[in-house]
């Protein structure tokens, strides 16, 4: 009997010890997924400090433009059936292409393993042009790293950049690498494949047609619709 009592006492003590110390830190809303989360016992990765509920949320936040993270595409069944495909998403401005692609990228990051790369194509071209002047990483190295990225590559707004011969060359290089190495690629563009053939290079449109399923987004410009 006495032994039992001692044991019981010990257990009670242990329970008391493992009680969570009272924190004065408040709950926070994750900057990436929007869920509410409690302060962790140990924030050695600085996630709570930075405002993220988990590592993946931090990665998503720094990979995909924030504006697109906040909107849920209305094309959920198309999203489900597109998750493992290479896609060329074409349509007029404001038809929801980038929002759809961002939702797809988040879905991939949360349900599948492997890194993704997201580039805004006009900004990427400007980065290459800047690299010529800075004399650090060479523009070719930057383009090659992107072109050979082993996981999914998301290219937003192909064709929105100024179409110089240099841009045509770089675009051909990236698309050709993706096609030859059979690397998964999702592209959005205001151009149709026909327009890419006519205004950029037929060898680029031909390769995109070979490796991607084409999705054509129609409808009104949702940016204008929201304002009226
Ligand atoms: N499913 C949606 N629900 C609510 N708003 C939406 C939705 N899809 C798009 N929008 C609104 O429309 C805007 C434009 O969407 P998005 O940037 O995806 O268009 P886009 O087709 O990529 O246009 P562009 O060709 O100009 O890049 C968004 O910023 C958002 O405000
Ligand atoms: Mg867009
Ligand atoms: Zn989160």
Beta partners for residue 91, in sequence order: 217
Domain holding 111, by residue range, is 65-227
Same structural domain, 44 and 129: no
Do the Cβ atoms of 82 and 104 come closer than 8 Å?
yes
For residue 189, give the ligand 1 atom closest to its CA: 25
* 56 and 104 belong to one structural domain: no
Whether 125 contacts 170, CB under 8 Å: yes
CATH number at residue 197: 3.40.50.300
2 assigned to some structural domain: no
Same-domain status, 44 and 139: no
Q: 109 and 58, same structural domain?
A: no
pLDDT per residue as tens digits for the range 133-171: 766 778 889 999 999 999 999 999 999 888 889 899 999
70 lines ligand 1 (CB under 6 A): no
pLDDT value at position 153? 98
Does residue 149 sit in the same domain as residue 182? yes
Minimum-distance ligand to the CA of 156? 2
DSSP E strand stretches across the chain: 28-29, 36-37, 87-91, 116-120, 152-158, 185-189, 213-217
This prediction has a pTM of 0.86
CA dihedral (187, 121, 119, 102) positive or negative: negative
pLDDT at 132: 76
Position 199 in a domain? yes
Q: Tell me which of 41, 63, 85 is where a domain ends.
A: 63
* Centroid of ligand 3 to alpha carbon of 33 (angstroms): 4
- Whether residues 170 and 91 share a domain: the answer is yes
pLDDT tens for 29-69 read 999 999 999 998 888 899 999 999 999 999 999 999 999 98
Q: Same domain for 26 and 77?
A: no
Residue 57 CA: which ligand is closest? Answer: 3
């Amino acid at each position: 009997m006495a032994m039992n009592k001692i044991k019981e006492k010990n257990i009670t003590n242990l329970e008391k010890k493992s009680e969570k110390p009272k924190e004065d830190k408040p709950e926070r809303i994750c900057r990436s997924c929007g869920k509410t989360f409690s302060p962790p016992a140990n924030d050695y990765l600085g996630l709570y400090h930075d405002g993220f509920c988990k590592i993946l949320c931090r990665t998503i936040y720094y990979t995909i433009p924030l504006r697109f993270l906040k909107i849920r595409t209305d094309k959920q069944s198309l999203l489900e059936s597109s998750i493992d495909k290479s896609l060329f998403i074409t349509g007029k401005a404001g038809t929801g292409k980038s929002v759809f692609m961002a939702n797809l990228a988040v879905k991939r990051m949360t349900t599948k393993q492997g890194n993704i790369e997201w580039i805004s194509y006009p900004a990427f071209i400007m980065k290459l042009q800047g690299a010529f002047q800075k004399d650090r990483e060479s523009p070719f190295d930057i383009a090659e790293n992107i072109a050979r990225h082993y996981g999914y590559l998301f290219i937003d707004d192909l064709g929105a950049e100024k179409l110089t011969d240099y841009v045509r060359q770089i675009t051909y290089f990236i698309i050709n690498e993706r096609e030859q190495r059979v690397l998964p690629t999702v592209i959005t563009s205001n151009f149709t494949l026909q327009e890419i053939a006519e205004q950029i290079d037929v060898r680029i449109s031909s390769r995109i047609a070979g490796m991607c399923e084409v999705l054509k987004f129609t409808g009104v410009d949702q940016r204008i619709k929201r304002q009226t």
